[in-house]
Chain A
Amino acid sequence: MTRFVVNVHIVPRKGLLDPQGKAVADSLRTLGFAGVHDVHVGRHLVLDLEAADAAGAERTVREMCGRLLANPVTEDFEIAGIRPA
């Protein structure tokens, strides 16, 4: 087994109202960043875990996302990177 560090992005599902993202976007525009179209606020998780290989680490994290880390009703997730710890 090898230790891997897996980064996961969890974001509100597209199309769902994201009031936090909207509040941040409004604030950025107030600061003068006029080009801001949209902001979405999510979570970034960094997991340090053991797995046989990188593919196994990814499989495990996908299962974690499906069962706990992301809510399948309201959130999407993507594995943003896997590297040996």
Chain B
Amino acid sequence: MKVGVVSFPGSNCDEDALLAIVERLHESAVLLWHKDHDLQGADVVILPGGFSYGDYLRSGAIARFSPIMQEVVAHARRGGPVVGICNGFQIACEAGLLPGALLRNVSLQFRSMPVTLRVETTQTVFTHAARTGARLTMPIAHGDGRYTADAETLARLEGEGQVVFRYIDAHGEPTEAANPNGSMRNIAGVCNPGGTVVGMMPHPERALEPLLGSTDGLVLFESLLTSVKA
């Protein structure tokens, strides 16, 4: 498996995503410069966290016009796996790869803290190796994470199993108190109809070392292996 991690001007989790693939999965990974037009043969593309192009206008709004994104969108349209994390999720939504949008946190505060997620479906390239209902703890770090979509889109996402992760409390319930940004239905991540494009606000690449408090992100990256090799 070869993973391409896009570096936008302002990306700051691209190296972490790269290390996740190289050091934890022992697979190959390359950084893809935003001005390039070449995915360098990557089987999987990761749109990492951080910022992009100053996030002028709206988070991710300008990044989607970068040269590399034309290739990423074409890759996704061919059914190629794409994972958007945090700012990468915002970019994937702006690029039309995923439905909905990410708005300012309801608290208006940047939230940097561990959260607990429930895996809602394993029918995606990024949750294939997990268990439905599994609880994963990993950090969030965002100011614009409030997932929003119109009622019709939400109903479709729920009905078609496209809600991938929800924020839950200690009892495993998706309560308002467990929701760090006010997202609709406590949604933390969604996928496209085929489960080949996944976007999430939390950072699994920051949950791979016991020293950092959690290794729960590993199962998500391992899912890429089974998805690509299957």
A residues with a Cβ closer than 8 A to B are: 16-17, 19-20, 23, 43, 68-69, 71, 73-74
* B91-116 residues at the A interface, CB under 8 angstroms: 93-94, 99-101, 103-108
Query: Does B185 have its Cβ within 8 Å of any Cβ on chain A?
Result: no
- Residues of chain B lying within 8 A (CB to CB) of residue A69: 57
Number of interface residues of B (CB under 8 A): 19
Q: List A contacts of B150 (CB < 8 A).
A: 73
**Given contacts A73-B150, A74-B101, A19 and B57 within 8 Å (CB-CB):** no
Task: Decide yes or no whether B61 CB sits under 8 A from chain A.
Answer: yes
When chains A and B are docked, how far (Å) is the Cα of A66 from the Cα of B117?
34
Roughly how many angstroms separate A23 CA and B100 CA in the complex, as a whole number? 24
- A19-B106, A73-B100, A73-B101 known; A68 vs B148 contact (CB < 8 Å): no
Known: A19-B106, A68-B61, A71-B101. 5 other contacts (CB 8 A): A16-B103, A19-B105, A19-B107, A73-B149, A74-B103
Q: How many A-B residue pairs have CB under 8 A?
A: 33
Give A57 to B125 CA distance when docked, in angstroms: 45
Which of B99, B107, B148 is the most central at the interface, judged by chain A CB atoms within 10 Å of its CB? Answer: B148
Give every chain B residue within 8 A of A74 (Cβ-Cβ). 101, 103, 148
Q: How far is the CA of A12 from the CA of B49 in the complex (A)?
A: 25
Is chain A's binding surface mostly helix, strand, loop or mixed?
mixed
Instruction: Tell me if A23 and B57 are in contact (CB < 8 A).
Output: no
Min distance, Cβ B17 to any Cβ of chain A, angstroms: 26
A73 adjacent to B148 (CB under 8 Å): yes
> For the complex, what is the distance from the CA of A47 to the CA of B209, rounded to whole Å?
49
Contact between chains at A19 and B104 (CB < 8 Å): yes
Which residues of B sit under 8 angstroms from A16, Cβ to Cβ? 103, 148
Q: Within residues 124 to 160 of chain B, which ones have a CB less than 8 A from any CB in chain A?
A: 146, 148-150
Contact B108 A71 (CB under 8 A): no
**A contact residues around B2 at 8 Å (CB):** none
Question: In the complex the two chains form, is B108's CB within 8 Å of A19's CB?
Answer: yes
Q: In the complex, what residue of chain B is closest to A72 when comparing beta carbons?
A: B101
Complex formed: what's the CA distance from A68 to B63 in Å? Answer: 11
Q: Is B180 an interface residue (CB 8 A)?
A: no
- Inter-chain contact B57/A68, CB cutoff 8 Å: yes
From residue B61, how far is it (CB to closest CB) to chain A in Å? 7
CA distance A19 to B146 in the complex (A): 11
**Minimum Cβ distance to chain A for residue B105 (Å):** 7
Does chain A have a CB within 8 A of B182? yes
Tell me the complex Cα distance, A71–B106, Å.
Answer: 18
Q: How far is the CA of A16 from the CA of B104 in the complex (A)?
A: 12
Q: Roughly how many angstroms separate A20 CA and B58 CA in the complex, as a whole number? A: 15
Residues of A within 8 A of B94 (CB): 71
